[in-house]
Structure 1
Amino acid sequence: MIEHNMASNEEDSPTVSNIKRAILNNLYNRYTSEYNNLLECTALDPRFRALPHLEKDQRNDVLHRLKEKAVLMLQNQDEGKEGASGHPLAAEQPLDQTDRAGAELKQPPSKKTALEDLLGGTFDEPVAQHISPIDAEMIKYRAETSISLNSCPLKWWKENARLYPLLSSIAKAYLSTPATSVPSERVFSSAGDIVNVQRSQLLPENVDMLIFLKKNM
Structure 2
Amino acid sequence: MELNKIRREYRYSALTRKNATAHPADQFRIWLNEARQANVNDFSAMNLITCSPGEFPQSRIVLLKDYNKDGFTFFSNYTSAKAKAMELNNKVGLHFFWPELERQIRIEGLAEKTPRQVSEDYFKSRPLDSQIAACASSQSSEIDSRETLEKQYQKVKDLLAGQAPECPENWGGYFVRAVRIEFWQGRENRLHDRLVYVHNENGWKIKRLSP
How does the TM-score come out when normalised to structure 1?
Answer: 0.20
From the two aligned structures, give the one with the greater helix fraction.
1
Larger proportion of strand = 2
Larger Rg: 1 or 2?
A: 1
